[in-house]
């Protein structure tokens, strides 16, 4: 809605970089869900599975192979054990520049994160040659001309690493907005284990898409009615400021029975 309200273009990108787990039927279902809700896009850009990240990796200095396993590291930040080891196999890590990264989040304001201390050198390519999210998302956003990113707050601190990658490629990062996560009663991210219902299930039950919009609009600071649609939400949307975000974790979320 932010992009539409300001005359921007909306791109659809299937993030299937992990081709071993990606499924075409899931991507098709996501397209149907978006169309049913009236969330259209101007262009579908190439899926990650068709892209080549190797040339971009070659542009980075101070990459190295690492043989450390997730079990060995546990929850600790990676301390650079394989730097200078000269391994020829394993994952590919990028040595982060030291020091904090400062950036402004449209909703959360000024942020300061030192990714070298918080996470350590990120893995950019897995041992099987598959690019990881940090590399793929930066390269994709850069090549697709993305200027605004709105995503979950669980990725907030990882933004610092991505900004360093943008700078290493000599490019200007997009504007970031991180929204609060919707949590279940146990404080964990809402999922099917909480009884959450996906969009396809609502559609298959014959629920009107307008009922979904009416239930979700209050989370966006908009008070729609039973006739609410995506175009109406765009027309009522105010891009800034973002006071509407609030703290979603303390709100009762609509269930499938509420939408009948």
pLDDT digits (tens, 9 = 90+) for 136-184: 999 999 999 999 998 888 899 999 999 999 999 999 999 998 887 777 7
Q: How confident is the model at residue 19 (pLDDT cuts 50, 70, 90)?
A: confident
pLDDT at residue 70, as a whole number? 86
Checking phi first, is residue 80 left (phi over 0); if not, alpha (psi -120 to 50) or beta?
Answer: left
Over residues 20-51, the pLDDT tens digits come to 777 889 899 999 999 999 888 999 999 898 99
Task: Output the pTM of the full model.
Answer: 0.83
Beta carbons within 8 Å of 111's beta carbon, 6+ residues apart: 102, 103, 104, 105, 156, 159, 160
Q: How confident is the model at residue 239 (pLDDT cuts 50, 70, 90)?
A: low
Query: Which one is predicted more confidently, 226 or 235?
Result: 235
Q: How far apart are CA 29 and CA 210, in angstroms?
A: 19
Distance CA 214, CA 205 (A): 17
Residue 63 is encoded by which pair of tokens?
A: 């990459």
| pLDDT surpassing 70 at residue 255 | no
Question: Could you give all domains of the chain from N- to C-terminal order, each with its CATH number?
Answer: 51-178 (3.40.50.620), 192-259 (no CATH)
Read off the DSSP letter of residue 250. G
> What pLDDT is attached to residue 247?
46
């Amino acid at each position: 809605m932010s992009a539409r309200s300001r005359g921007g273009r909306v791109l659809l990108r299937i993030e299937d970089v992990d081709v071993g787990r990606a499924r075409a039927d899931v991507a098709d279902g996501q397209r149907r869900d978006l169309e049913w809700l009236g969330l259209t896009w101007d262009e579908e850009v190439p899926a990650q599975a068709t892209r080549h990240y190797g040339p971009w990796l070659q542009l980075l200095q101070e990459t190295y192979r690492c043989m450390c396993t997730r079990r060995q590291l546990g929850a600790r930040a990676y301390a650079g054990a394989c730097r200078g080891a000269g391994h020829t196999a394993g994952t590919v890590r990028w040595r982060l520049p030291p020091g904090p990264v400062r950036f402004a989040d449209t909703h959360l304001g000024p942020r300061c994160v030192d990714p070298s201390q918080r996470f350590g050198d990120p893995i950019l390519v897995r041992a099987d040659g598959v690019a990881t999210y940090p590399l793929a998302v930066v390269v994709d956003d850069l090549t697709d001309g993305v200027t605004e990113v709105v995503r979950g707050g669980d990725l907030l601190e990882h933004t610092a690493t991505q900004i360093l990658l943008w700078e290493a490629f000599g490019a200007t990062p997009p504007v970031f907005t991180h929204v609060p996560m919707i949590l279940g009663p146990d404080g964990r991210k809402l999922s099917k284990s909480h009884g959450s219902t996906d969009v396809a299930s609502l559609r298959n039950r014959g629920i009107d898409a307008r009922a979904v919009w009416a239930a979700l609009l209050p989370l966006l600071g908009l008070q729609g009615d039973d006739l609410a649609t995506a175009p109406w939400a765009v027309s009522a949307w105010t891009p800034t400021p973002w006071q509407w975000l609030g703290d979603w974790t303390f709100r009762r979320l609509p269930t499938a029975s509420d939408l009948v």
